Amino acid sequence: MSQSKLSCQILVILLSIFSSTLILETKVLAEDSLVSKQPSTSLIDSEQIDSLVGVKQQPQKSLLTTNAEQLTPSAAVIEQANQDDRFEPGLRNSLDSKSSESTTPINQVTSVYEIISKQPEQNIKSKPASGNPLDLNSSKQNNTLITQVNSVSELTDVQPTDWAFQALQSLVERYGCIEGYPNRTYRGNRAMTRYEFAAGLNNCLDRIRELITTQTTSAVSKEDLAQIERLQKDFALELKNISGRVDTLEARTATIEQQQFSTTTKLSGQVLTYLGNAWGENAGKVNNTALGYRASLNLNTSFTGKDNLAVSLQAINLRRLDTATKFPQGRLSGVTDETRFLPSSMSGDGDLRLNGLQYKFPVGDKLVVSVDAYSGDRFLTEPITPLSNPTTGAVTYFGSINPFDYPVGQQSGIGLQWKAANWLSLDLDASGETNTNDPSVGLFGGGGYGLFARPVITLGKLRLSFPFAHFYSPDFGTDTLAGSNAAKLFGAGPVVGNSYDFSFNYRITPQMSFGGSIGHIAARTLGDGTKGNADLWDYRFNLVFFDVGKKGNLAALIFGMEPRLTGTSNAALAQAIGLPPGQRSDRDVGFHIEAFYTHRLSDNITITPAIVWLTAPNHDERNPDVIVGVLRTAFQF
């Protein structure tokens, strides 16, 4: 057999290995095309190779190495298979069994594929490696980093007992396409980049082309070809199994493409159930164990990859547990919002209704614009407290966030998020309260409104937030959905005011954080004969423990004072909102004490048992304490 013929066969074998591996990688990664919409294809056609070199090869039976131990998948491929549901269990087991034999060489094939398929227009040699023995391009640029060796014995850290010794010896002494470091080391255990591998492979292929041209007499032996043919036969079954699994993955990919919900829209859902009761001298008589729920469907659509159209549908039938307060006597007694679980409506009948319609898009790198046709969320920067998550955070609304951040309801408006720096973000918003769809009212026709600003500062483990709101409500006072009934300022006419909040959260350790907030509302009532000023205050502090018993679990203790009317400027205002003669504020101070533990049953299901102790409900010590017990279950998909 001529030298040229033998060299051609080696080249065919090398290229066919890349072809087989690229086909496998293409099929395994096929599901990624559902997002990118850029189908992967094999870059090497075996029939084209046959026509170029004149050698007929056996499909899917070519191997790269002369050592059977090198025919194993890379650690990166094995790790991806273990973590990615796209791989079938059988394929993961096969990869694991092969990984026990070796963990290195096949990673080279994967790296070549990723360079070719994912960066087709990038010049591999344009990024020289930093001193890897295979990176010949780097050696040409800096001869002080890498030096040519003529014998594997010159590499002081390579021993005959090394599993890759024979392969390295062949590449160094027979083909001359491996280089070492100036200190005569090879550093075979050092990880190399894909660029370095490509450079080394390219050099070896150049050497083969040179052999074909010069027809060197001793470059390839019959024993080499015999060993390659033997390895092809030994691994014929594995190659056949891989082909079958590729067909299976291809069928699964086709099914997903046909059945996927949308190419631009992601559907997610959440169901929260609350099983709870309230006990107390008065509360125990009027409450029974009840089960309520809130179910949400969210559709997030992106048209450019950077924007987001959010549509939220919601069904709810939750009710408040009754604190059964008797003081102050009159219309301020009865049920309060101190037991509210969510800011959602407490009069829902379970019908599915629109709950949010918002479109966000970026303007440059630092500005995000939010157009809200129907949305109550005015803060685009994520909350600084871990308690605000409705599935894993606090069970009560007061425990999850300072209610003074939302002194009035919002319906339609526009918002901005300015990412001024890595440590500073600013949210701005202007919105109407209700009836913004009514042409007689509109956005600026005399209805309620809110102007919001919220800077968020991140200083390492410390996060600070300073929400501010200027608001006007003609009909709903300062209904923060928490605290005493007097703090809502109902009955004294339209209300205008400013809301201030100072919030902080400090991550003491990876397993514990301490946070809190202090809020103040300075309001003025505008009713005829009831004009005056009113002050409201609240505060809350929390201690949160992370990964308690299991990663993702969370436990917390919350202590605070729910919104309380601390003073009014005149008696007419006080009596208009329902306070008895001679009383100008809430009579006493009640406290909110909450403890809960969130346990993850799975990635999609969590349960949260919680207990809430309300002292002096309605901020009146004449009302007996109330104990609330609740079990929240969250389902997400």
Q: Which of 259, 285, 315 is the last residue of a domain?
A: 259
For the whole model, what pTM was predicted?
A: 0.64
Q: How many domains does the chain have?
A: 2
Angstrom distance (rounded) from CA 233 to CA 61? 8
Say if residue 320 is in the same domain as residue 206.
no
> 609 or 58: whose pLDDT is higher?
609
Say if residue 436 is in the same domain as residue 331.
yes
- 528 falls in which pLDDT band (50, 70, 90)? very high
Does residue 520 have a pLDDT over 80? yes
| Location of structure tokens 């009710």 | 319
Which of 68-72, 78-82, 223-227 is predicted most confidently?
223-227
Say if residue 292 is in the same domain as residue 243.
no
Say if residue 228 is in the same domain as residue 365.
no
- Residue type, position 179, single letter: E
Say if residue 155 is in the same domain as residue 284.
no
Q: What is the pLDDT of residues 372-391, one digit of tens each?
A: 988 777 678 889 999 999 99
Q: What is the pLDDT of residues 149-162, one digit of tens each?
A: 778 778 888 888 88
* Per-residue model confidence (pLDDT) at position 105: 43
Contacts of 143 (CB under 8 A, 6+ apart): none
Residue ranges making up the domain that contains 97: 3-259
Does residue 68 have a pLDDT over 80? no
Does residue 24 have a pLDDT over 60? no
Q: What is the DSSP letter of 89?
A: H
Say if residue 22 is in the same domain as residue 86.
yes
Q: Please give the average per-residue pLDDT across 561-586, as a whole number.
A: 96
Q: Which of 236, 259, 282 is the last residue of a domain?
A: 259
* Per-residue model confidence (pLDDT) at position 309: 95
Say if residue 537 is in the same domain as residue 609.
yes
Q: Please give the average per-residue pLDDT across 15-23, as a whole number.
A: 46
- 90 falls in which pLDDT band (50, 70, 90)? very low
Say if residue 253 is in the same domain as residue 367.
no
* Per-residue model confidence (pLDDT) at position 220: 60
Does residue 322 have a pLDDT over 80? yes
Average pLDDT, the chain: 79
Q: Judge contact between 133 and 181, C-beta under 8 A.
A: yes
Say if residue 274 is in the same domain as residue 357.
yes
Q: Which of 109-123, 158-172, 313-327 has the weakest average pLDDT?
A: 109-123
Contacts of 346 (CB under 8 A, 6+ apart): 318, 319, 320, 340
Cis peptide before 328 (omega within 30 of 0): yes
Q: Judge contact between 286 and 322, C-beta under 8 A.
A: yes
Say if residue 224 is in the same domain as residue 271.
no
Say if residue 248 is in the same domain as residue 271.
no
Q: Judge contact between 176 and 203, C-beta under 8 A.
A: no
CATH of the domain at 403: 2.40.160.10
> 81 or 571: whose pLDDT is higher?
571
Q: What is the pLDDT of residues 466-500, one digit of tens each?
A: 999 999 999 999 999 999 999 999 999 999 999 99
Q: Which two tokens stand for residue 27?
A: 């099929």
Q: Which two tokens stand for residue 559?
A: 């202590």
Distance of CA 101 to CAs 47, 87, 416, Å?
33, 21, 56
Q: Which of 37-51, 229-243, 442-456 has the weakest average pLDDT?
A: 37-51
Say if residue 251 is in the same domain as residue 274.
no
* Per-residue model confidence (pLDDT) at position 9: 53
Q: Which of 259, 289, 307 is the last residue of a domain?
A: 259
Q: What is the DSSP letter of 580?
A: P
Instruction: Residue 407: name the closest of 359, 477, 342, 490 by CA.
Output: 477
- 18 falls in which pLDDT band (50, 70, 90)? very low
Q: What is the pLDDT of residues 272-302, one digit of tens each?
A: 999 999 999 999 999 999 999 999 999 999 9
